[in-house]
Amino acid sequence: MSAKQQNILLLGGGGRECTLAWKLKQSPLCGNLFIAPGNAGTAAYGTNLPLSVTDFAGIKKTCLDHNIDIVLPGPEDPLVAGIYDFIKGDADLQHIIVAGPSKEGAQLEGSKAFSKRFMERHNIPTAAYREFTAANYTEGEAYIRTQQPPVVLKADGLAAGKGVVIAQSTDEALAAFHAMIMDRQFGEASSKVVIEQFLDGIELSVFAFTDGANYVLLPEAKDYKRIGEGDTGLNTGGMGAISPVPFADAAFMQKVISRIVEPTVNGLKAENIIYNGFIFFGLIKVNGEPYVIEYNCRMGDPETEVVMPRLENDLVELMLAMGAGKLNEVTVQHSAQAAGTVMLVSGGYPGDYAKGKVMTGFDKVNGSMLFHAGTASKDGAVVTSGGRVLAITSYGTNIKAALAKSYENAAHIQYDGIYYRKDIGWEF
């Protein structure tokens, strides 16, 4: 492609964004790269800007000051808040490519009820469900009593990943329902609740990148959400990830494409919902069949830390093709290598944890990629600044070999309170 170099503004500051920055910087088409707010790792690939991902006025000023050509939102918040519509509705900014959906499209993630209704309209396989508010609260209680536990309750809106309860008994389900609707546990986000059938299977994450008409599939991944080994304990943002996913064989992926990916892309188009960028399909395989657990309107974290290393295409070229509506002209190449990532976290996470712990040992790491998540620079040192601190990704001829390398290097990193799961990829 003979396009000019692109000035890019990447929004976010986690492991996902560090990986995206690493990937973007490899492109000969990457001009000036800015990351807002970024972290101690992203500073190696571009310029960090002290800017919140939802500060639209600040984003506008940054776009104008730095002659930005492409905005890539990492997390969902700016997308659900309407960054796409903000940029496209502003005469000074509308030439900018936004690698993310419109506010309406982002509702696939921003509202569980919206996404369930969308799947219903397009016959996309998902758990049976009902939606409830304070207006039909007693009906909701009666519905819960008819359900065989476990019962799945989901706050309709964004709840920082905490809005899903899998209740093991009817009483627990009723209590969670009360907390969400009557006590407004998640504020406005839980004024509406989706109650759905529990699906028993194995989960994986599939990613498409679309221009609204065409799409390409990125490598699939599996993340490990629980804090404890053996998938026990509290849910986290994700403690590790692998790609490819051994149980996502060609026959299964064909079902995913024909029953889920294509009906989703075609359904968005048919409903005139503007959708560019990533679609993250959170799937579950039940008796060999794929179902959608959730949609996200962005890449996953830590899935990005294994997906981007396995994507052989130039990401800037993909975003330009998306902006031009020409993703049909692109062929995506997935690496034959496997990738595995292990997430180092702060002691106490996902509960309370300390910040500001000095990190050492980076210079001893050999043969892995370090993607910073919750880190910051302070007085010339790298310090912890979040729950998830550092993702260590490696390639290997298979998942076990990749993860063995990541674990070898994890042992070199030190900071007070360091914790990571030792069993990522244990089942393969």
Question: What is the size of the binding site for ligand GLY (CB under 6 A)?
Answer: 6
Alpha carbon separation from 254 to 248, 257, 327 (Å, rounded) = 10, 5, 20
Q: What, of ligand GLY, ligand AMP, none, does residue 167 touch, CB below 5 to 8 Å by kind?
A: none
Peptide bond into 125 cis (omega under 30): no
Q: According to CB under 6 A, which one of 196, 211, 220, 314 is a site residue for ligand AMP?
A: 196
Q: What, of ligand AMP, ligand GLY, none, does residue 77 touch, CB below 5 to 8 Å by kind?
A: none
Q: According to CB under 6 A, which one of 303, 321, 330, 365 is a site residue for ligand GLY?
A: 303
Q: Among candidates 252, 261, 247, 246, which has minimal Cα distance to 292?
A: 261
283 Cβ partners below 8 Å, 6+ apart?
Answer: 203, 204, 205, 206, 256, 260, 290, 291, 292, 293
- Binding region for ligand GLY (CB under 6 A) out of 60-68, 253-261, 299-307, 339-347: 299-307
> Which residue lies nearer to ligand AMP by CB, 76 or 104?
76
- Cβ at position 172, least distance to ligand GLY in Å: 24
101 Cβ partners below 8 Å, 6+ apart?
Answer: 79, 84, 108, 273, 274, 275, 276, 277, 297
Q: Among candidates 195, 211, 193, 220, which has minimal Cα distance to 290?
A: 220
Q: What, of ligand GLY, ligand AMP, none, does residue 203 touch, CB below 5 to 8 Å by kind?
A: ligand AMP
Let me know how many helices (H) and strands (E) the chain has, helices first.
Answer: 13, 23
Q: What, of ligand AMP, ligand GLY, none, does residue 309 touch, CB below 5 to 8 Å by kind?
A: none
Q: According to CB under 6 A, which one of 43, 179, 199, 217 is a site residue for ligand AMP?
A: 199
- Binding region for ligand GLY (CB under 6 A) out of 2-10, 181-189, 300-308, 313-321: 300-308
Q: According to CB under 6 A, which one of 77, 109, 220, 294 is a site residue for ligand AMP?
A: 294
Measure the CA–CA gap between 323 and 38, rounded to whole angstroms: 24
Residue 248 and residue 263 in contact, taking contact as beta carbons nearer than 8 Å: no
Give the type of residue at 184. Answer: R
- Cβ at position 278, least distance to ligand AMP in Å: 16
Site map (CB under 6 A) of ligand GLY, residues 50-79, x = contact: ------------------------------
Question: Which residues in 173-232 contact ligand GLY (CB under 6 A)?
Answer: 223
Contact status: 164 vs ligand AMP (CB under 6 A): yes
Contact status: 296 vs ligand GLY (CB under 6 A): yes
Q: Among candidates 266, 261, 155, 259, which has minimal Cα distance to 206?
A: 261
Alpha carbon separation from 365 to 133, 397, 408 (Å, rounded) = 52, 20, 9
Residue written as tokens 């026959």?
Answer: 251
Edge-to-edge order in the sheet of strand 47-48:
47-48, 30-37, 6-12, 70-73, 97-98
Q: Among candidates 290, 336, 277, which has minimal Cα distance to 309?
A: 336
Contact status: 286 vs ligand AMP (CB under 6 A): no
- Cβ at position 224, least distance to ligand AMP in Å: 11
User: What residues line the site for ligand AMP (CB under 6 A)?
Assistant: 127, 152, 164, 166, 196-199, 203, 225, 282, 293-294
User: What residues line the site for ligand GLY (CB under 6 A)?
Assistant: 223, 238, 296, 300-301, 303
